[in-house]
């Protein structure tokens, strides 16, 4: 019996806390075989992003074709896609795949460095969102994509609804990490609005949180779990990863991808 597999299409983080590195670590923890297509290279550490090099679209396509021609794909997860042309070509490729797709619209690094060109934002909804089983924006990303203010849980619900009913995603998980109070996330799947709550953990070490959360959702979808269950299990996973995050570097340290091992993943 072959293992479950997951393909991440994202940028590289040389500091290892986010991007492709976080995705592959997360897949491994869920016992899902990870594959990767690089979209950008970042010179990055816990203090921020020092430089970025975007991979030519022709080479992104070559990577996609190479994986597709030889390896089975049970789920696709995308992260940093910085350029409009890349979004167009990746979207056209994803449209041909008949597997769940998790779209994490990475726009800005945890340190505040822009990771997406302005014109790419519109390309996300046009070329990627409509194929997504779920998109996973945090509040600043949702505000930018929807041109609205999000200050309350009710606002989060309205944003999730708009992503599905106006921008065409099958599901939307709006993450409330930037609000005060509990760590509340809202999931809308086109029919039911669900809320996931955890106590907020006081730490500055949250580098790679979004990438890790989205990848955990993807891993669970690869295993055949429903979206609500995948989000529930991923929420538990990322909460432990944050609770036991690492004091590494002099900035925002990384989450702990193996923190869950104290309780065996089932």
Please report whether residue 60 resides in a domain. Answer: yes
Residues 199-236 pLDDT 10s: 889 888 989 999 999 999 999 999 999 999 999 999 99
pLDDT of residue 264: 43
Phi, psi dihedrals of residue 224, rounded to the nearest 5°: 95, 10
Chain segment 14-65, per-residue pLDDT in tens: 999 999 999 999 999 999 999 999 999 999 999 999 999 999 999 999 999 9
Q: Which one from 208, 212, 235, 255 is the annotated catalytic residue?
A: 208
Q: At what angle do helices 120-127 and 84-95 cross, to 10 degrees?
A: 10
pTM of the model: 0.94
Question: Is the pLDDT reported for residue 266 higher than 50?
Answer: no
Label residue 121 by pLDDT band (50, 70, 90).
Answer: confident
Check whether 111 has a pLDDT greater than 70. Answer: no
Query: Does the active-site annotation cover 209?
Result: yes
CATH code: domain of residue 195 = 3.40.1190.20
Is 84 within the bounds of a domain? yes
pLDDT for 9 equals 98
> What's the pLDDT band for 182 if we cut at 50, 70, 90?
confident
Q: Could you list the residue range(s) of the whole structural domain that residue 123 is in? A: 5-260
Residue 162 lies inside a defined structural domain of this protein: yes
Whether 211 is catalytic is yes
From 162, 161, 166, 6, select the one nearest 73 (Cα to Cα): 6
Q: Is 48 a catalytic residue?
A: no
Q: Spot the catalytic one: 8, 26, 39, 206.
A: 206
In the annotation, is 103 catalytic? no
- For residue 108, is pLDDT > 70? no
Exactly one of 16, 120, 211, 239 is catalytic; name it.
Answer: 211
Asked whether residue 79 is assigned to any structural domain, the reply reads yes
130 band by pLDDT with thresholds 50, 70 and 90: very high
Q: Can you give the pLDDT at residue 265?
A: 45
> Is residue 265 in some structural domain?
no
Per-residue pLDDT for 164 more than 60? yes
- Look up 224 and say whether it is catalytic: no
Report the pLDDT value the prediction gives residue 181, as an integer from 0 to 100. Answer: 73
Q: Is residue 266 a part of any domain in this protein?
A: no
- The domain tally of the chain equals 1
In-domain check, residue 138: yes
Those residues with Cβ within 8 angstroms of residue 133's Cβ, 6 or more apart along the chain or in another chain: 100, 101, 102, 170, 171, 221, 227
| Selected catalytic residue, list 175, 233, 239, 255 | 175
Any domain includes 14: yes
């Amino acid at each position: 019996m072959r293992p479950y597999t997951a393909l991440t299409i994202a940028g590289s983080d040389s500091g290892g806390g986010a991007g492709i590195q976080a995705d592959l670590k997360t897949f491994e923890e869920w016992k899902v075989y990870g594959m990767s297509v690089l979209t950008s290279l970042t010179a990055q550490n816990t203090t921020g992003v020092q430089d970025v090099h975007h991979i030519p679209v022709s080479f992104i396509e070559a990577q996609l074709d190479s994986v597709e021609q030889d390896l089975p794909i049970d789920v696709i997860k995308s992260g940093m896609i910085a350029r409009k042309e890349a979004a167009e070509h990746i979207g056209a490729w994803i449209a041909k795949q008949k597997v769940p797709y998790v779209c994490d619209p990475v726009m800005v690094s945890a340190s505040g460095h822009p990771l997406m060109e302005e014109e790419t934002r519109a390309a996300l909804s046009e070329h990627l969102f409509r194929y997504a089983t779920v998109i996973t924006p945090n509040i600043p990303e949702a505000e930018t994509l929807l041109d609205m203010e999000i200050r309350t849980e009710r606002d989060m619900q309205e944003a999730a609804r708009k992503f599905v009913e106006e921008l065409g995603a099958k599901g939307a998980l709006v993450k409330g990490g930037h609000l005060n109070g509990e760590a509340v996330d809202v999931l809308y799947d086109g029919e039911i609005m669900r809320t996931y709550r955890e106590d907020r953990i006081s730490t500055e070490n949250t580098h790679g949180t979004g990438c890790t959360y989205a990848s955990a959702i993807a891993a669970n979808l690869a295993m055949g779990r429903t979206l609500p269950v995948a989000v529930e299990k991923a929420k538990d996973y990322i909460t432990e990863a944050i609770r036991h995050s690492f004091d590494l570097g002099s900035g925002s340290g990384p989450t702990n991808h193996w923190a869950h091992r104290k309780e065996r993943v089932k």
